Amino acid sequence: MNRTITVLTSGLRRSSATRVLADNLARATCRELNRLGATVDLDLIEVREHGHALVDSLTNNTPSAELDRALESVARADGLIAVTPTFTASYNGMFKMFIEVLDDTALVGKPVLIGATGGTGRHQLVLDHQMRPLFSNLYAVVLPTGIFAGPDDWAAEAVVGTALGHRIDRAAAELAWEIDRRSECWALRARGDRLQ
């Protein structure tokens, strides 16, 4: 069984805390899917690399080939991991622009694991007050556990065995289980259709 995961991260620097969180969530999800017997194709989308193309797409309706490929990756994925830094108590503007240029049906029924980083723990409400409603509005299946990581979460050299690490493992298990459950349902439905 092969599963596809797209990781959407909108940090402003290559070595940002947002990217580190996204990488940790992706690794943990791949590990859980492997445990369930699936192989995983992982596609990482750095939103900042599509900044100019996003503006062109929104103002002139002329997306680039690279942006089209990124949008298609989100649409065809079995699951999405979406991570943003927190700016002014919300997701950043590039993250929102990327979501705005997605096809209206791209996220319907798709399992989505949400994550965010911020300079203070007070920003953790961004998950439930901004990100969850955004994805729910697009009919995605937003998983119960969202992951926020603030400065205190990065105090250790590695996240394994830390409180953040345990939260990541729980969220990754939820995403892997949801992807696997949906795949099983589709397989049963396809077999049933052939038998009739």
Of 139, 132, 127, 175, the C-alpha closest to 5 is 175
Whole-angstrom distance, CA of residue 96 vs CA of residue 86:
12
Whole-angstrom distance, CA of residue 92 vs CA of residue 154:
21
Whole-angstrom distance, CA of residue 155 vs CA of residue 176:
28
Question: What mean pLDDT is predicted for residues 117-137?
Answer: 93
Res 160: pLDDT: 75
| Percent residues over pLDDT 90 in the chain | 78
Three-state SS at 105:
coil
Helix, strand, coil share (%) of the chain residues, nearest 5 = 55, 20, 25
The pTM assigned to this predicted structure is: 0.92
C-alpha 168, offset from chain centre: 13
Res 158: pLDDT: 72
Question: What mean pLDDT is predicted for residues 81-100?
Answer: 95
Whole-angstrom distance, CA of residue 80 vs CA of residue 158:
24
Does the pLDDT value for residue 118 go beyond 90? Answer: yes
- Least confident stretch, 45-49, 58-62, 109-113, 162-166: 58-62
Does the pLDDT value for residue 195 go beyond 80? Answer: no
How confident is residue 151, by pLDDT bands cut at 50, 70 and 90?
Answer: confident
Whole-angstrom distance, CA of residue 146 vs CA of residue 86:
14
Mean pLDDT over the full length of the chain: 91
- Least confident stretch, 51-55, 60-64, 71-75, 173-177: 60-64
